[in-house]
């Protein structure tokens, strides 16, 4: 998300449904390896809409 903002873009849809965590082999989750999805509302920060 930081890199998207540094590039001048906004996600516009951050919510728990758009953060993915994948199970590890031991059955736990790797919380430091999350993935952001749901970019359908993304836009350039300079776009007024």
> Ranked by mean pLDDT, which of 19-23, 29-33, 45-49 comes out on top?
19-23
What's the structural domain count of the chain?
1
Contacts of 3 (CB under 8 A, 6+ apart): none
Q: Per the domain annotation, does 49 fall within a domain?
A: no
Predicted structure pTM score: 0.65
pLDDT at 48 over 90: no
CA dist., res. 24 & res. 47, Å (int):
39
Domain containing residue 16: 2-44
Q: Per the domain annotation, does 15 fall within a domain?
A: yes
Q: Per the domain annotation, does 24 fall within a domain?
A: yes
The predicted-structure confidence for 10-19, as pLDDT tens digits, reads as follows: 999 999 999 9
């Amino acid at each position: 998300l930081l890199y998207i903002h540094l590039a001048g873009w906004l996600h516009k849809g951050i919510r728990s449904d758009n953060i993915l965590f994948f199970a590890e082999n031991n059955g736990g989750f790797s919380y430091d390896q999350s993935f952001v999805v749901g970019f359908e509302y993304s836009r350039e920060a300079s776009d007024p809409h």
